[in-house]
Structure 1
Amino acid sequence: MKSDACIPLLPCVELAPTLEFYGRLGFEVTYQQRIPNPYAATRRGGAQLHFFGQKGLDPQKAYSCCLVIVDEVEQLHARFVSVLKEAYGRIPLRGVPRLTRMKKGQSRFTLVDPSGNSLMFIRRDEPSGYGDDDADAAASVLAKALKAARRLRDFKGDDAAAAKVLEGALKKADAGTTVERARALAARAELAIALGDAPRARELARDIDALPLSASEREGLREELGAIEQLVRSQE
């Protein structure tokens, strides 16, 4: 007996540019019609997405969402970054379409298509609770803020709220260790780029440089801080 299947049906402003967008990302069109209504079916591996034309759809106010379970996310995200950068001349980190940022060890990312549909790509073996440990009563203010900001960014796609949480924690002098402050500043700088505030991102990058981190601490943060440096430079 064949297993059941569930295929998401997502609205789009126009069919042609939608299919072009997903075609760049490796989705092939398996069916398409123009009448009696615009409709198309696509597939990428085991993932299927169907689209229908919807008049008056505002991508900025769209809320359709879909989960895509995949074997790995880091290489997939890197491929999407390469394709979208070639198509748009930059990595689309804000507006529509856009792609959320990716950190080493992260198990999910979100792609928002030109019609405002959000696709969350989740690694199949993602830890329960997204790797969070609820037994964090002794965690510092900055550690808790980083956890809350990550959930707001990666689960709810609310960059503004995530930035607000980090800003509040960073204002406190004894909120955590110097390394935690560096991570919080880096996360806030990343959000500043996503929110279109390049000057704030550069200011935060300077704050990171001014931190009294030891050579070993900076080495431990090298990849994380290097990614922020690259993001800031991309906005110059």
Structure 2
Amino acid sequence: MAGLPTGRGSTMTTNADRVQPNETTVPLLHCAAPEETLAFWRALGFEVAFEQLRPYVYLALTWSGFQLHYGPAPKDLDPAKEHSGGCLVMVDAVASYHAVFAEAMRRSYGKVLVKGLPRMTRYRAGASRFSIVDPSGNTIVFIQRDEPKDVEYGGSKELDGLARVLDNARILREFKMDDRAAYRALDSGMRRRAEDAPAVEQAMALAGLIELATALDKADRVPEWGARLQALSLTPEQRTQVAQYVADPTLLEPWWPDPR
């Protein structure tokens, strides 16, 4: 056919070869609760670049170097099911983002929102991601740009006993954002696996239970976990390991006073 390149020496120019690589991708999220969504992101320090509620919803918010845009939600969308949508935000230092948003929440709400809608997942020292769930049920995930490609998502065959329970609970908490499942896993693990587990693993599980019980309004069981934690004998290095398993080590202080 005329016009088609022929012969081994011919070359073809693709559309991608003619495009200057300077794209910007902006997520467009469902917005089932416009007023609440605007109030939440403003509380976290976002600026509203565009606001339209009629004849249809369109919101544009900016913070630092990224944007979030919102459009109309399906009429049957239930934000509580958290199936609205979401996006990934790749950053160089994820811990600093969590710290800034946590400070903004404390300033605006008097506390860090860790349950219900909206909320932000806890950040454990050394973790590579955290999530914010907005009032419309969208999940915005902040991820360390150099997050290891071989992140273990639980169920490692190299782990067994309580160590495997701890790993699975970490995945449920940090990646699946399911505090209740993580709590159940640790509670069951302590009943079935603690007897033969090293003291440091027992302490990590108890610390996780204290943190999760506090978040899930199961505070009546915290004294039980705390007393068991207090009875364990750990080295300073092991105490550090336990503290790093939870996002807020200050929750352990009533049961685990500073040894210095």
Return the TM-score normalized by structure 1: 0.85
Q: Counterparts in 2 of 1:157-176, with a 5 A limit?
A: 157-171=177-191, 172-176=193-197
Q: Deviations over 1:151-201 (max 9, x none)?
A: 112221111111222122211244421111111111222222222212223
- TM-aligned CA distance change 1:193 to 1:66, over 3 Å: farther
- Partner-residue secondary structure (3-state), 1:128: coil
Displacement of 1:6: 3.1
User: Once superposed, what is the RMSD of the aligned Cα atoms?
Assistant: 2.7
- TM-aligned CA distance change 1:149 to 1:62, over 3 Å: same
Letter in 1 for 2:189: A
Q: Contact 1:189/1:228 (CA < 8 Å) preserved in 2?
A: no
Among 59, 69, 74, the alignment partner of 1:50 is 69
- 1:161 and 1:27 map into 2 onto residues whose CA distance is 32
For 1:60, the equivalent position in structure 2 comes to 80
Residues 1:123 and 2:144 aligned together: yes
Q: Contact 1:193/1:231 (CA < 8 Å) preserved in 2?
A: no
For 1:110, the equivalent position in structure 2 comes to 131
Q: Contact 2:92/2:144 (CA < 8 Å) preserved in 1?
A: yes
Letter in 2 for 1:153: R
Letter in 2 for 1:6: T
Q: Contact 1:69/1:123 (CA < 8 Å) preserved in 2?
A: yes
- 1:102 and 1:61 map into 2 onto residues whose CA distance is 23
Among 41, 46, 59, the alignment partner of 1:22 is 41
For 1:41, the equivalent position in structure 2 comes to 60
Return the TM-score normalized by structure 2: 0.77
For 1:12, the equivalent position in structure 2 comes to 31
For 1:142, the equivalent position in structure 2 comes to 162
- TM-aligned CA distance change 1:219 to 1:135, over 3 Å: closer
Displacement of 1:53: 4.2
Letter in 2 for 1:145: V
State the identity %: 39
Q: Deviations over 1:197-227 (max 9, x none)?
A: 1222343222211212245533554565793
- Partner-residue secondary structure (3-state), 1:120: strand
Q: Deviations over 1:107-158 (max 9, x none)?
A: 111111122221111111111133x399954534121111111111222111
Q: Deviations over 1:24-54 (max 9, x none)?
A: 3233222222332121112223322111244
Residues 1:81 and 2:102 aligned together: yes
What is the aligned residue count?
232
- 1:70 and 1:205 map into 2 onto residues whose CA distance is 36
183-192 vs 19-28, greater mean Cα deviation: 19-28
- Structure with higher helix content: 1
Q: Counterparts in 2 of 1:178-197, with a 5 A limit?
A: 178-197=199-218
Q: Contact 2:45/2:104 (CA < 8 Å) preserved in 1?
A: no
- Partner-residue secondary structure (3-state), 1:129: coil
For 2:228, the equivalent position in structure 1 comes to 207
Letter in 2 for 1:110: S
